[in-house]
Structure formats: C-alpha cells, structure tokens
Amino acid sequence: MTRRLLTGLLPLIALFLTAGIAHAQTPRTGTLMREKLAHSQKILEALTTSNQMLLSSESEALQRIAESPQWTADLRTPELRSYADRFIKAAADLAAAAKRRDFDAAAAQYNTMTTACYQCHKRLKDTRIATLR
C-alpha cells in the first residue's frame, strides 16, 4: 500500500518541485526556434561567402520571426525579456547592415545576436538544473 501511495505521489511531487522552473519549449516555440536556427545558419553562410542576396533575404526572414507575435508572446516573460529584447535589436541591426551591404557590421550584429541566443538558452538550462538540485 505504501509503495502504491509513493508511486502515485511521485509525479505530483515532481510537478510541484518543477512548478517554478522555466518550462521547455512549446511545440510552437520549438518550431520557431528551429526556423531561427536555419536562418542563422544561412546568414553565417552568406557572411562567409559574401553573398549579399542571401544575407539580405535571411536577415529579413529572421527579423520577421523576431518581431512575430507568436515568438514574442512566448518569450517576452519577465525572466526572458532582456534576452528577447537583445535578440530583437540585434536582428533588426543585422537586417539594416545587410541592406547597407555592410558585411563587417552584419558580422558584428550576427555575433551579438548569437550571443543573446546562447545567454538565454544558458539561463534556462541553469535555472532548470538549479531548481532540480
């Protein structure tokens, strides 16, 4: 009987302990993140091959995702707001540099943008690990 009670309570205890953790991506957010990754990879390709057309089109596509209500609704929480704001600004600055055909500025903004992504993902991972300890 005690074993059954514990088995039934364990999922509830785990749910309670993780209630304050920033949750994993929703299917919608996961799809947007994969799209962001694909565009980011194409931007790196454009930067390293000096492909202006690819840089412009991929930068604009990434900026549209960053400004989309779907992305901002899921990621504009108090915990993630500063990371999202940095990403949105860097994506806009990257698209502007691409329009000016300024590869050096575009590369700098690409670095700023990917750093914002890394820091946000690291924050979420560290929060989850700290809460589980």
How does residue 63 score in pLDDT terms, banded at 50, 70 and 90? very high
| Interval 65-81: pLDDT, tens | 988 887 767 666 777 88
Classify the phi-psi angles of 21: left when phi > 0, otherwise alpha if psi is within -120 to 50, otherwise beta.
beta
| Interval 114-129: pLDDT, tens | 999 999 889 888 877 7
Give the global pTM: 0.75
Give CA separation, 120 vs 5, 49, 83, in Å: 39, 28, 6
How does residue 91 score in pLDDT terms, banded at 50, 70 and 90? very high
- The whole-number pLDDT of residue 25 equals 66
